[in-house]
A and B are shown apart, each in its own frame.
Chain A
Amino acid sequence: VTLLEQNPRWRLVPRGQAVNLRCILKNSQYPWMSWYQQDLQKQLQWLFTLRSPGDKEVKSLPGADYLATRVTDTELRLQVANMSQGRTLYCTCSAPTGGVQDTQYFGPGTRLLVL
């Protein structure tokens, strides 16, 4: 079973402040790790998939900017910045349980509330 730990599990974010999220992969033979995000009342949306330590990607979406970093073989990070005031955001990481086209296993996620 592929296991993922995330921290923090929730965070109140002062307006204008960035927040850093961590995802730790406990058990998988496959290298890919991904981030998904979800606004309140909207669908879970894929953000990034990173394979190797040192990989980085950035993305700007309405309401937030994202920077993902693959730190090690087992750690993936996400920095979320410039979030809109009053926004509630859920971020979760995932890793495949098998090869290509196989099931994604998700971590418990982090809930962010922007003050």
Chain B
Amino acid sequence: GDSVTQTEGPVTLSEGTSLTVNCSYETKQYPTLFWYVQYPGEGPQLLFKVPKANEKGSSRGFEATYNKEATSFHLQKASVQESDSAVYYCALSRPSGTGSNRLTFGKGTKFSLIP
């Protein structure tokens, strides 16, 4: 079956430093890749998605490149700030035949700034 593996958290960094959350995936089909972010008390919300290999997605200073050869989709941000503190989920979807795609998530990586 499909699987997604990402950096095990928690990750704590100083403000202004760079963040990388690794994500690798396994699937037999050609997936769309997603990064979701979840803040306390809220549901996961889309950060961005990339449907095609070798393309990059970005939002709010975060970016990730769909690397089909390495089956990776690592999330990066050059300079983190307090508002970035959240749980980040890497996910994939592929056609399910039901008319609505089904997401396979990683375990999530909790990020916060060093106080």
Contact = CB atoms under 8 A, between A and B. Distances in A.
Sort chain B's interface into a size bin: 20 to 34
Given A100-B95, A100-B99, A108 B43 contact: yes
Interface stretch (B19-27, B60-68, B78-86, B100-108): B100-108
B108 A43 contact: yes
Contact of B108 (A36, A44, A92, A107): A44
Contacts of B51: 101
Contacts of A41: 107
B98 interface: yes
Sort chain A's interface into a size bin: 20 to 34
Contacts of B96: 49
| The 5 residue pairs across chains A and B that have the minimum distance between CB atoms | A106-B43, A32-B100, A44-B105, A43-B107, A43-B105
Interface of B: 4, 32, 34, 36, 41-46, 49, 51, 89, 93, 95-96, 98-108
